[in-house]
Amino acid sequence: MCPGSFDPITNGHLDIIERASELYDEMIVAVLVNPEKAGMFDVDTRMAMIAESTVHLSGVTVDSFHGLLVDYCRDQGVEVIVKGLRAISDSEYEVQMAQMNRGLSGIETVFMPTGPEHGHLSSSLIKAVAHFGGDVAHLVPPPVLQRLLARRED
């Protein structure tokens, strides 16, 4: 299971999904439905962008979930949560979540370091740069770039 907000998926996320898909036969990329945070793209669009960006990967499916991640994992029979770590600063919160999730369910979290070329990437930064007309073509998969550019024209 590779969970996240994915608003939108970045090349950093995609790097983790691609590398994790080499380790596991089946993987679900799951978008959190968060009623408290509208985000830039709705959940269906986020899922479409992930599906289009991972079309070259076998065994990868895209879904959404709400509520506790571990409940969704149990429903799906998922044994491992995969998370990317960009920097040590990420690990503070990520380790807390991993410990909580394991305590709640026994489900393990496996951390993968993002490629160094993606260490500075975040969905929020990309949205901010794109909003002000900056070039993000090298930071997001083409299906995301297309939609960001379409938003800019609106």
Q: Which residues bind ligand PNS (CB under 6 A)?
A: 3-5, 32, 68-69, 97, 100-101
* SS3 state of residue 105: helix
Can you tell me which residue has the tokens 């160094």?
116
CB of 102 to ligand PNS, least distance (A): 10
CB of 149 to ligand PNS, least distance (A): 23
Q: Which of 5, 13, 53, 147 is catalytic?
A: 13
Hey, which residues does 32 pair with through a beta bridge?
A: 65
CB of 56 to ligand PNS, least distance (A): 22
Nearer Cβ to ligand PNS (87/152) = 87
Nearer Cβ to ligand PNS (21/109) = 109
Farthest-apart Cα atoms in the chain, separation: 47
CB of 65 to ligand PNS, least distance (A): 7
Query: Is residue 86 annotated as part of the catalytic site, yes or no?
Result: yes
Task: Write b or e for each residue in 8-38: b if 16 or more Cβ atoms lie within 10 A of its Cβ, otherwise e.
Answer: bbbbbbbbbbeebbeebeebbbbbbeeeeee
Distance CA 94, CA 108 (A): 12
Query: Is residue 120 annotated as part of the catalytic site, yes or no?
Result: no
DSSP of 72-101? HHHHHT--EEEEEE-SHHHHHHHHHHHHHH
Residues 6 and 34: beta-carbon distance below 8 Å? no
Q: Which of 83, 86, 118, 147 is catalytic?
A: 86
Residue whose C-beta lies closest to ligand PNS: 4
Query: Is residue 102 annotated as part of the catalytic site, yes or no?
Result: no
Q: Which of 5, 46, 123, 147 is catalytic?
A: 123
Nearer Cβ to ligand PNS (96/152) = 96
- The residues annotated as belonging to the active site are 13, 37, 86, 123
